[in-house]
Amino acid sequence: MIAERKILVVAHSEELSRVAAEEFVVNAETSVRKNGFFTVALSGGSTPKGLYMKLAGEPYREKIPWSKVHFFWGDERCVPPDHPDSNYRMARESLLDKVPIPEVNIYRMPAELEDHDRAASEYEQTIRAFFHLEAGEKPRFDMVLLGMGDDGHTASLFPRTSALEERDHLVSANYIEKLSAWRLTLTVPVINQAAQVLFLISGESKASVLKEVLEGDFQPHRLPSQLIRPVHGSLLFIADSLAAGKLSHW
């Protein structure tokens, strides 16, 4: 059963961050009430960063039960954690260093390892241990945050890359030809297992690709964001008016 897909168009990126923060708080409160904790996979990118900065301030900071939030990453650049390109560093500076989150609740991808496949499998073990997974089982994150590139990529699932095909592993090392760079990424089945997937998309540069992803033909190798279809969860696109400018309906 494909989840219901919702598209929320907001005026501008500031409003996008606010609406996303509200969603984050509601999901966190609900998950903690139900299970005693909240698991979220963070995204890199400037649009998600706007959300992190919002969460670090009031009124959101005080609403979130930080000691019960467990932070994972949806993807990471294969660089050291203090590298300017690191998604981990971005999240630390914009959010994690500003809120009372226990260090043990932060599960960083070991993306600095030279052996990228080892890094992927180590993170897979981290996820398996946290979620107490049996062989073949996939984790169900309460929330997966995603951005979308103007080429239709999300997380580090880039067009025509090997990670798009991965259906068994939880985490893939993925070489991105056009960036001449290695990345680590959660795989499609893991993201599609989430209770809630939130796409945060802003800016005119995303208008054409967002229209293709949402209204165009299904071409997942060219538009990997089309692969994201939670099987038992909700899928919410929050886009500002510039990014949504070419959509015919929402």
Interface residue list for ligand 6PG (CB under 6 A)? 43-48, 75, 87, 147-149, 153-156
Place of tokens 């467990």: 70
User: Which of 87, 196 has the CB closer to ligand 6PG?
Assistant: 87
Q: Smallest gap, in angstroms, from Cβ of residue 198 to ligand 6PG?
A: 11
CB nearest ligand 6PG: which residue? 147
User: Which of 46, 162 has the CB closer to ligand 6PG?
Assistant: 46
User: Which of 117, 150 has the CB closer to ligand 6PG?
Assistant: 150
Q: Smallest gap, in angstroms, from Cβ of residue 200 to ligand 6PG?
A: 7
State the Cα–Cα distance between residues 15 and 99, nearest whole angstrom: 22
User: Which of 154, 187 has the CB closer to ligand 6PG?
Assistant: 154
> Which amino acid, residue 30?
T
Report yes or no: 181 and 77 within 8 Å, Cβ to Cβ: yes
Report yes or no: 171 and 184 within 8 Å, Cβ to Cβ: yes
Q: Smallest gap, in angstroms, from Cβ of residue 227 to ligand 6PG?
A: 13
Q: Give the sign of the dihedral formed by CA 46, CA 48, CA 49, CA 54.
A: positive
Q: Smallest gap, in angstroms, from Cβ of residue 43 to ligand 6PG?
A: 4
Q: In what order do the strands lie in the sheet with 171-176?
A: 75-77, 181-186, 171-176
